[in-house]
Structure 1
Amino acid sequence: MGKYTAVPDLITTDFIVKYRTPTDENPYIMVNSHYHEDNYEIFYLIDGERYYFLKDRTYHIKKGDLVLIDRNEIHKSSHVKSHRHKRVLVQFKPDFLNEINKADSSINLFSCFTGEQKILRLDFKEQEIIEELFAKMYHEQTNRQKGFELINKIKLTDMLLYINRIAGAKSSFKFDHPDSLHEKISEVVKYLNDNYAENINLRKISEHFYISPNYLCKIFREVT
């Protein structure tokens, strides 16, 4: 419990856009929570719904929700009722935009990844803008015509600037826990994070939360 997998960072490129459309017949199952040591990730749900475990709690995300995942941040996506959904994500290393990020000292493009609002619920107009930027970046990545990498740096910069602008306006939006089970696991994870320097074992955690060790392990595996 509390052990997570470090997924290898981008190896052959500093930037990648990936679409995926799982179905109940051909599901995509993320077995373990994981983190990336040296790349940021922006996850966008085009259609459907998912549970998204991020850092220390689970969110019930829906069509039009955007997830901002910082480096070394624990995360995992799982199905709600059906595996059917459509999502797109972009992963990139800081080096991909470092020169652009240094161009204006008043702006930090990466600040949206460290803010309090990590899940953004976009309205229809915002969805259109984000989806168009993803589509253009994917088109450039796929066709690889002259200057495609520069264009994707510009498009990703556009996306990050836009996200940073709208994130502040959405800071008051609060996501409820999907249910009491997810809320309890969130409390356990926060307890582990707050006391990581101490020698904490399963028995001590079980006693603290008045939950049997076996049941605690079971629900922890299910959620995280």
Structure 2
Amino acid sequence: MDKQILQYSSSNFFMSHMVSDPPYDVATHIHDCYELFYFISGDLTYYIEGQAYKLYPNDLIITNSKELHRIVFNSASRYERKYIHFHPEYISSYQTDEYNILSYIEKRKLGYFNRIPAEKVFESGINELWNKIDKASIESSPESPIMLKTFFVQMLIAINKNLSNYNPPLSEGHRYDQKINTILDFINKNLDEKITLDLLEHRFYVSKYYLCHIFKTNTGFTVMEYVTYKRIMRALELLMFGHAALDTAHRVGFRDYSTFYKAFKKITGTSPNQYFRK
């Protein structure tokens, strides 16, 4: 059961504070925006693009608009979190030629350096800035939206400083199979090709049954679930740059349009042509 403690939204910005008791696994998904996820309590593993992050209270997770992620709960402990979704347009007026506020969020290798641990969150004042954002979101004064945005920009700068100076461990407490990293890289570079378990089995000299096991253990995704999501993500980019839906389907490895259409609609909630027109 979910309980909403706080919610605020404005153009290109949304924030929430939620409690769930008991929690349920969060399926593989991706946002069309950036997400800042502030973990308060619970017992979970946060999977992002092949990396597994065991979270502790006051850890911060950062994901950009290209990173697949999911949450798996290790027990039924009470789950509390805050999160912010935002589009780059929200802080565009603060961007300069000399300083890109989103550089570290955008330019990280997918699945790398997503976690800022609690001690760094406190040292850099990210927790205090988030509290100020919360406070500004519930005030009704005319200056509150301006104050909220300035606190948010300060928080992004603090995040940048953390990511530039600190190399956090990728998967504390999680045994990571390095072969998966090679397979993920191969998949991402060959989305236009026919990718099957048999192909991966022969290319990487690993039983497809064992591959399915270690892939799910290390990434939180099944092999084909990952392939499908990444193909749809690539399709979104192609449609955005003006490629027709049918052409896009073939470019991202779908052999027939019907399969592409169903996968696209399931993941994005809209049809390829609707997205193309939008």
> Does the residue aligned with 1:45 lie in a helix, a strand or coil?
strand
Contact 2:124/2:158 (8 A) holds in 1: no
> What amino acid maps onto 2:170 in structure 1?
F
Choose from 148, 151, 175 the match for 1:152: 148
In structure 2, the residue matched to 1:4 is none
Question: Matches of 1:205 and 1:84 in 2, distance apart?
Answer: 39
Pick one of 68, 91, 95 that aligns with 2:89: 95
SS of corresponding position for 1:67: strand
Q: TM-score, normalised by structure 2?
A: 0.63
Query: Which has the larger displacement, 122-131 or 110-119?
Result: 122-131
In the other structure, the counterpart of 1:70 is: 64
Q: 1:126 to 1:82 in 2, by over 3 A?
A: same
Q: Deviations over 1:180-201 (max 9, x none)?
A: 4776655543332243343211
The answer to whether the aligner puts 1:192 opposite 2:187 as a matched pair is: yes
Between the aligned partners of 1:125 and 1:188, the Cα distance in structure 2 is 33
Q: Distance in 1 between matches of 2:61 and 2:11?
A: 22
Secondary structure at 1:62 match in 2: coil
Alignment size in residue pairs: 207
Task: Decide which of 94, 97, 102 is 1:110's aligned counterpart.
Answer: 102
2:15 to 11, 17, 23: 17
The answer to whether residue 38 in structure 2 is matched with residue 44 in structure 1 is yes
**Native 8 Å contact 2:52 2:170 kept in 1:** no
Task: Determine the structure 1 residue equivalent to 2:216.
Answer: 220
Q: Cα gap change, 1:80/1:120 in structure 2, threshold over 3 Å: closer, same or farther?
A: same
| Aligned partners of 1:34 and 1:75 also within 8 Å | yes
Moved more, 105-114 or 132-141: 132-141
In terms of fraction of residues, the more helix-rich structure is 2
In structure 2, C-alpha distance between the alignment counterparts of 1:18 and 1:134, rounded to whole Å: 12
Partner of 1:130: 126
2-side partners of 1:145 and 1:28: how far apart? 37
Question: Of residues 23, 26, 29 in structure 2, which corresponds to 1:30?
Answer: 26
Shift of 1:127: 6.4
Cα distance change of structure 1 residues 163 and 125 upon mapping to structure 2, 3 Å threshold: closer
Cα separation, partners in 2 of 1:13 and 1:77, compared to 1, 3 Å: farther
Distance in 1, Cα, partners of 2:147 & 2:205: 51
- Identical aligned pairs, as a percentage? 19
Query: 2:212 aligns to what SS in structure 1?
Result: helix
Residues 89, 127 of structure 1: CA spacing in aligned structure 2 closer, same or farther, 3 A cutoff? Answer: farther
Runs of 4+ in 1 over 6 A off after TM superposition: 181-184
**Matched residue, 1:170:** 166
What CA distance in whole angstroms lies between the structure 1 residues aligned with 2:78 and 2:180?
Answer: 25
Query: What's the CA shift for 1:214?
Result: 8.9
Counterpart-to-counterpart distance in 1, 2:91 and 2:77? 34
Gaps of 5+ in 2: 1-8, 222-278
CA positional deviation for 1:213: 4.5
Note closer, same or farther for the CA distance 1:43–1:12 as it changes in structure 2 (3 Å cut).
same
Contact 2:29 2:69 in 1 (8 A): yes
TM-score using structure 1 length: 0.77
Distance 1:73 1:147 in 2: 34
Q: 2: distance between equivalents of 1:124 and 1:72?
A: 25
Cα pair 2:58 2:121 within 8 Å, conserved: no
Q: Which residue of 1 aligns with 2:261?
A: none
- More relative contact order, 1 or 2 (CA 8 Å, 6+ apart): 1
